[in-house]
Amino acid sequence: MRYRGLLIAGLILLVGGVIGLGLLGSGLFNPAPVSAEVARGEWIFRTGTDPDTGQPIPYAGGMGMVMGCAGCHGPDGRGLRTPMFISPDITYRNLTDPAGMVEPDGRRGPTYTDELIRRAVTRGLDAEGKPLAWPMPRWRLTERQWQDLLAYLKALP
Ligand code: HEC
C-alpha cells in the first residue's frame, strides 16, 4: 500500500486548501471595507476640500488657509495642544458620550447629538449654544459634505 500515505497527504492538502480559501472568502483576514461615504469624509477631514471638485470648502473664522479638521484636531481627531490653541477630541464616540464629552482638561462637558455636531461645525456653537472660541471655523458645508464628514467622525476609533 505505497500509495496510501500519498493519498492521505493529498486529502489533507485538499481539505486545508478548501478551509483556507473559505477563510479568505469570509473576509476574516481582510480589513473591514471602507464605505465610499467614509472615504469621502476622510478626504474632507484631512484636506478641507471637496472630494469631487478639489475646491476648498469655504469657512468663516479659522486661520484663513486651506486646511481640514485634522490640521487642528489631529490626524486621529483626538485633539491637539499647541502654543496657539487647545482643541478637543471630536471623535463621534467622545462627542456623543452619554456621560458627557471629555474636554481637553479632562472634565466632562455636554453630550452632542448629530444635529448639535452639525451646528458646532457650521455655526460655531457648542452643544449648549455658547460660541466656540477661535480658531474653530464655521464651515459652509453642503448636505453631501456634511453627511460624508459625519460618517467619517463615526468611523474614527
Ligand atoms: C483652525 C483650527 C481648527 C480647525 C481647522 C477645525 N477646528 Fe474644530 N475646534 C477648534 C478649536 C480650538 C476648538 C475648541 C473651541 C473652544 O473650546 O471653544 C474646536 C471645537 C470643535 C468642536 C466642538 C467641541 C466642543 O468642545 O464642544 C467640534 C464639534 C469641532 N471643533 C469639529 C471640527 C470639525 C468637524 C472640523 C473640520 C470640518 C474642525 N473642527 C476644524 C479648532 C479647529
Do 103 and 116 meet the contact criterion of CB atoms below 8 Å apart? Answer: no
Whole-number Cα distances in Å, 142 to 7, 118, 133, 135, 145: 65, 11, 23, 21, 5
Of the candidate ranges 24-28, 36-40, 79-83, the one whose mean pLDDT is the lowest: 24-28
pLDDT score, position 34: 87
Gap from CA of 132 to ligand 1 centroid (Å): 8
If one compares 36 and 31, the residue with the highest pLDDT of the two is 36
| Nearest atom in ligand 1 to 57's CA | 38
25 pLDDT band (50/70/90 cuts)? low
pLDDT tens profile 48-93:
999 999 999 999 999 999 999 999 999 999 999 999 999 999 999 9
Q: Which of 45, 59, 87, 146 to mutate to test the pocket of ligand 1 (most atoms within 8 A of CB)?
A: 87
CATH class label, 36-155? mainly alpha
Amino acid identity, position 74: G
148 pLDDT band (50/70/90 cuts)? very high
Torsion over CA of 10, 11, 12 and 13, rounded to 10 degrees? 50
| C-alpha cell, 147 | 453627511
Gap from CA of 90 to ligand 1 centroid (Å): 7
pTM, 2 dp: 0.84
Residues near ligand 1 with C-beta < 6 Å? Answer: 62-63, 67-69, 71-73, 85, 87-88, 90, 95, 109, 117, 120-121, 126, 132-133, 135-137, 139, 149
Spell out the domain ranges in the chain.
Answer: 1-30, 36-155
Report which of 130, 78, 138, 74 is spatially closest to residue 103, judged by C-alpha positions.
78
